[in-house]
Amino acid sequence: MKANSLTSAVVIGGGPAGLMAAQVLAEGGIQVELYEAKPSPGRKFLVAGKGGLNLTHAEAYEKFRTRYGERQEQIEPLLRQFGPKEVQRWAAELGVDTFVGSSGRVFPVGMKSMPLLRAWLGYLHSLGVTFHTRNEWTGWHANGRLRFRTPEGEHLAEGGATVLALGGASWPVTGSNGKWIPTLSKRGITIAAFKPANCGFNVRWTEHFRTRFAGAPVKAVVAKFLGVNGRTFQQQGEFIITENGVEGSLIYACSAFLRDALDTQGEATLHLDMAPGWTIERLVARLSERRGNRSHSSHLKKAVGIEGVKSGLLWEFVPRDDFTDAFRLAEAIKDLCIPLESARPLEEAISSAGGVTFESLDKHLMLQALPGVFCAGEMLDWEAPTGGYLLTACLSSGRWAGLGALEWLQDK
C-alpha cells in the first residue's frame, strides 16, 4: 500500500453524483482523482438542462420524500442531510441563484446548466481535484488496482477509497450505458435489471389519427391509474401525442405504474378525464342539447368545448354509436381508456429503474462485498419522477457516499 493511499480517493463517473462525492472528499482534505469515460464531465447534466435545468422542487418535504416510491425508506436519510433546501444553498454558494417556477420546480436563474457546471468544476479544480477524461473503467487488475481503457492504452490507478458513480442505462450517448454491470456481477454484487423510467409508451394509433395529431399536446386532462398491488395514481397535467404513442410530463409521472402493470400483467390502460371540473351530469345535460344540423364534432366543441386532439382521441377509442348517446359519451369523456402496448426503449427514457440493490450496500452506501468501494447516483436501484427529484437524489447520494468514503479513510 502506498504511503498516500489513506489520504487519496478515486471517483469514477463525472455526473452529478460523482462530482458531489469528489467535492465532499476534497473538502475533507483528501486528494481526489476523478475518472470520466467521456471527453468532459457533466454530459447528462448538460443534456438535462436543455429545457431548463430543474434542480429540485419546492414542495413540502413530507410530500417530496414520497416521490421515491418503494425506495423511500432508503432515500430519505440521504435527503434529510442534503435535500431540496440544501441543493438551493449549494447552488447559491457556487454563485448561481435559483427561483421557484409556477409548478414548484426550482431552476437556476437563466435556466441554463452550463454556468452552474462551469462554477462547480472551477470550485473542484480549486480544491485540487484532478480530472482524467476519456478514461473508461473496465474493472480491477489482478493486483487490485483500478483499470481504465484510454486512447493511449490501459491505465492503472488506486486510492484508499473508491466511489463508483457510473450512471444508469438511459441516454447512453451521455455515458450511462450499464457496461459496468458484468464487472460488479462477477464480484457477487446483486443488481436489479434496468428498466425504463420517466418514459413514453407505444399505442397502436390508426393511420388517420397518427397523421393528423402526432406532435399535438393534450392539455388540461387528469390521468388516472390503479396500479399493481393497489398502488393508485391521479394527477392533472398534459402530455404529447407521438408517432408511436404518448410521452410528456404527465405520462412520465405515472410511467412506473404503467410499466409495472405491463411487466406483471402484460397489459396496461391509461385512463383520462378529458374534462376536469365537469360532472357527468353537467356533461350529459350539455350533450343532450339539440344538435340540429351540426356534426358530432361540432356539437362536442359547442356543447363542452372538446375539439382538436381531444376530439380525435374520442373518435379513436369510443364506439361510433356512443356519440349518439349523451350518457355513454359523457362517461367516455370522464374516463377515456387508452390501451398501451409497451414502454418505449430504455435508451430513450429520461432515467432508469434498477441497478445496485440497497441490500448489497451498508448504511454508508459501501458495497458489503467490496470494503472501501462506495456507490452513488443512478447506478443504485431507485427511481423518481421528473420535477427535480432525480437530480436531488443524485446529488444527495453522491454526498452521502462521499461522506462514507471520507469516514472510511479517517477510520483507517
Task: For CA atoms 85, 86, 88, 92, give the dihedral sign.
Answer: positive
Query: Is a pLDDT exceeding 60 seen at residue 3?
Result: no
Look at residue 227 in the predicted model and tell me its pLDDT.
67
**Would you call 298 exposed, middle or buried from its count of C-beta atoms within 10 A (0-12, 13-18, 19+)?**
middle
Please name the residue that has the C-alpha cell 460488479: 184
Query: Is a pLDDT exceeding 60 seen at residue 233?
Result: yes
Look at residue 2 in the predicted model and tell me its pLDDT.
41
In which element (H, E) is residue 283 found? helix 280-287
pLDDT tens sequence across 63-87: 999 999 889 999 999 999 999 999 9
pLDDT tens sequence across 88-98: 999 999 999 99
Q: Over range 144-163, report the average pLDDT.
A: 96
Q: Please, are residues 385 and 253 in contact by the beta-carbon 8 Å criterion?
A: yes
Q: Over range 96-101, report the average pLDDT.
A: 96
Q: Give the three-class secondary structure for 152.
A: coil
pLDDT tens sequence across 363-402: 999 999 999 999 999 999 999 999 999 999 999 999 999 9
pLDDT tens sequence across 235-251: 999 999 999 999 999 99
Query: Is a pLDDT exceeding 90 seen at residue 174?
Result: no
Query: Is a pLDDT exceeding 60 seen at residue 4?
Result: no
pLDDT tens sequence across 335-368: 999 999 999 999 999 999 999 999 999 999 999 9
| DSSP3 helix / strand / coil % (the chain, rounded to 5) | 40, 25, 35
Look at residue 44 in the predicted model and tell me its pLDDT.
84
User: Phi, psi at residue 305, to the nearest 5°?
Assistant: 75, 20
Query: In which band, very low, low, confident or very high, does the pLDDT at 292 lie, cut at 50, 70 and 90?
Result: confident
Look at residue 245 in the predicted model and tell me its pLDDT.
98
The single-letter code of the amino acid at 179 is K
pLDDT tens sequence across 29-41: 999 999 999 999 9
Query: In which band, very low, low, confident or very high, does the pLDDT at 153 lie, cut at 50, 70 and 90?
Result: very high
Cα 211–216–222 angle (5° rounding)? 125
pLDDT tens sequence across 182-229: 999 999 999 999 999 999 999 999 999 999 999 999 999 999 987 666
User: Phi, psi at residue 248, to the nearest 5°?
Assistant: 115, 175
pTM for this one? 0.91
Of 37, 269, 309, 25, the closest CA to residue 167 belongs to 37
Q: Please, are residues 157 and 146 in contact by the beta-carbon 8 Å criterion?
A: yes
Query: Is a pLDDT exceeding 80 seen at residue 231?
Result: no
Q: Give the three-class secondary structure for 154.
A: strand
Q: Chain-wide mean pLDDT for the chain?
A: 94
Look at residue 47 in the predicted model and tell me its pLDDT.
82
Determine the Cα–Cα distance for residues 381 and 393; give it in Å rounded to an integer: 12
Number of neighbouring beta carbons within 10 Å of residue 201:
25
Determine the Cα–Cα distance for residues 128 and 33; give it in Å rounded to an integer: 9
Look at residue 52 in the predicted model and tell me its pLDDT.
83
